[in-house]
Amino acid sequence: MQRKKRTPRDDAARRRRRSAVRVDRVRVASFQRRLLAWYARHGRDLPWRRTRDPYAILVSEIMLQQTQVRRVLEYYPRFLARYPTVADLAVASTPAVRESWHGIGYYRRAANLRRAAQHIAERHGGRFPADVAALRQLPGVGRYTAGAVASFAFGQDAPILDTNAARVLARVFGPGRRRGRTARLWALAEATLPAGRAYEFNQAIMDLGALICRARKPTCPVCPVRRTCRAFERAAARQR
């Protein structure tokens, strides 16, 4: 019998099946509740969390892509003082933007930021797009950054997956197979997002990864989600 030729649609369906995640609703609800309660008391107070301005949030997200929080804290207010709005950045010259970015490194990020500002001015009449699909059309904006701007500036239920969030989700819900891991983690980020709470939840999961569930030496005994964490369960079983 002749084999049916695979179409791009078949491949997309296979990828979706591979990345599908089954989550225990009770575990997810407990994880959400504990994480949000912890964040309310211990979340970091950062300047880009004191605004809902999508432009200011995009600037912080682009700076944070390859630079530590400590250094961004120094350069972020300076850059915003020089270019307070997306319109100011859109008309800035390349040498001026390069000079403002001096010291942060990876200048390509600044060039993309300026091109994104121009894109917003030209294609959106200077108004920031609010949905993930339109945000992803901006130069230098990938799925994570689009989700961050959509949830932090516009309060949309958009998941995010940075290295901190990915580590927390993999440890709490199980790493799964290596193949298709990123797609499954994105599916998990989506499945665990509490409706209407994306702003706090996304900040909370990143803070947990940065402060407690660190790559090396996570401080599990004080972790607020340890009772729902597979990695913690496995480590406890090994010690019995």
CB of 106 to ligand SF4, least distance (A): 29
| Rounded to 5°, angle at Cα 23 from 21 and 29 | 145
- In three state form, how does the secondary structure of 18-84 look? HHCCCCCHHHHHHHHHHHHHHHHHHCCCCHHHCCCCHHHHHHHHHHHCCCCHHHHHHHHHHHHHHCC
Which of residues 61 and 207 has its CB atom nearest to ligand SF4 in the complex?
Answer: 207
Size of the site for ligand SF4 (CB under 6 A): 13
Query: Is 122 assigned a catalytic role?
Result: no
Which of residues 39 and 232 has its CB atom nearest to ligand SF4 in the complex?
Answer: 232
Contact pattern for ligand SF4 over residues 181 through 220, marking x by CB under 6 A: -------------------------------xx----x-x
Residue 171 engages ligand SF4 in binding (rule: CB under 6 A): yes
101, 223, 236, 239: which one binds ligand SF4 (CB under 6 A): 223
Residue 168 engages ligand SF4 in binding (rule: CB under 6 A): yes
Neighbours of 226 (CB within 10 A): 20
Measured distance CA(198)–CA(196) in Å, rounded: 6
Spatial neighbors of 207 by CB under 8 A, at least 6 apart, are 39, 42, 43, 44, 164
- Read off the DSSP letter of residue 128: P
153, 158, 172, 198: which one binds ligand SF4 (CB under 6 A): 172
Binding site for ligand SF4 (CB under 6 A): 168, 171-172, 212-213, 218, 220, 223, 225-226, 229, 231-232
Positions annotated as catalytic residues are 61
